[in-house]
Structure 1
């Protein structure tokens, strides 16, 4: 899944995270690759979110329920003018 629409990115990413294996990471980045968000699945209902772009932050032990609101805020902050986002899966 290389490119996705920025408008529906949070819904598509949450869908992929539900199917992601423990220890794997999902990375969402801008076209230029200078801004990105990486979500690592630590166990069945716990995620680590690393934000690197306008802000640099790490969120530990985020539940799936809290992840929805957090990703919406991060995507709005990091990708305000983006139309397409690149998504990749790799080892966490």
Structure 2
């Protein structure tokens, strides 16, 4: 089992878009997400210190991609589907 502690943020302009960051990272200090998608310019905290299990299946999201993004670029943008 591989757990990542992440803070989840929801886009203020599109409630289906989320941003996952390592716990404690301030989203206001990141330019990357909003560079790719303006919907991430304003986010609100959705869940703090979520224990994200990279081996679990989460409905409507690609857990493996989220984990890979967090481990490589330190943030992951995703859209909750279905």
TM-score (norm 2): 0.35
TM score, norm. by length of structure 1: 0.32
